[in-house]
Amino acid sequence: MNKPISREEIISLIRSHAFGVLATYGGEYPYTSLISLDLTTDDRWLIFPTMRQTQKYANILHEARVSILLDNRSSVASDGQSAYALTVMGKAFEIEAQFISTCTKQFLLRHPNLTEFLSSPQTALIGISIIKIIFVEKFQDVQEFDWI
């Protein structure tokens, strides 16, 4: 196993990703979606916007437990030895009114191209309270972090 990765390194890796793959419970099967994301300044929540009419939004309302996959597969050598994957597990919720302005401003610093999307009344800003993170490198070196 490689040297253990620190919490600060995990935070840095999360912040290096503008997109991730969200997995929600879709009833019979898991349901995955590509999302734009950001980590809040206190490192406790991942946030992303979605339309309220989407399957992922309906799934979150039904079952709040979700996971997000972040990885570097598009930038690794063909041998895969530098590949890693981060799985962020947590509970999703719609951001409450008192936090919307702050979270929206922060999100738009990372994703300014989504200003119009976020201003739509059909758009919900979702937070994921991070509970656990699993970091895997070289396909078999696994480290787990309880986040709360």
> What's residue 82's pLDDT?
74
Tell me the C-alpha distance between 108 and 82, whole Å: 31
The tens digit of pLDDT for each residue in 100-137 reads 999 999 999 999 999 999 999 999 999 999 999 999 98
116-148 per-residue burial string, b: 16 or more CB within 10 A, e: under 16: eebeeeebbbbbbebeebebbbeeeeeeebeee
Q: What is the mean pLDDT of residues 13-41?
A: 94
Domain 7-146: give its CATH code: 2.30.110.10
Q: What is the mean pLDDT of residues 68-72?
A: 94
Query: Which two three-digit tokens encode residue 140?
Result: 């078999």
> What's residue 76's pLDDT?
64
Domain boundary assignment for the chain: 7-146
Q: Is the pLDDT of residue 77 over 90?
A: no
